[in-house]
Amino acid sequence: MIATSGDQTCFVAELGQKHSVDLDGPLGKTHLVIDEQGAYVTASPCPRKTCMAMGPAKHSGDLLACVPNRIMVRISNDDGGEAPYDLLSR
């Protein structure tokens, strides 16, 4: 799991390990929790709180974003790479 603020990496952690961290953005602190359910935002200074309603991110390629506060959380593969595809169609 990689968290960025603007274009800077601000936090990296493995899913499955419990963490609670404040990520600094231009509006203030966005609070991120990582536990057995995944990664999710529990508090943010943004006006609409859409990031808090996104639910837990737990699969490779999942994203959480607080656009007004310029915070993005991305779940990546164990090797740090992206999933090779994001959609299958038949």
The domain made up of 2-74 has a fold known as mini-chromosome maintenance (MCM) complex, domain 2 (2.60.320)
Q: Is the pLDDT of residue 70 over 80?
A: yes
Return the pLDDT at 16: 82
pLDDT digits (tens, 9 = 90+) for 14-31: 888 899 999 999 999 999
| Confidence label for 8 from pLDDT (cuts 50, 70 and 90) | very high
Return the pLDDT at 10: 93
Q: What's the DSSP call for residue 83?
A: P
pLDDT digits (tens, 9 = 90+) for 48-64: 999 999 989 999 889 99
How is residue 42 written in tokens?
């529990």
Burial of 69 (0-12, 13-18, 19+ CB in 10 A): buried
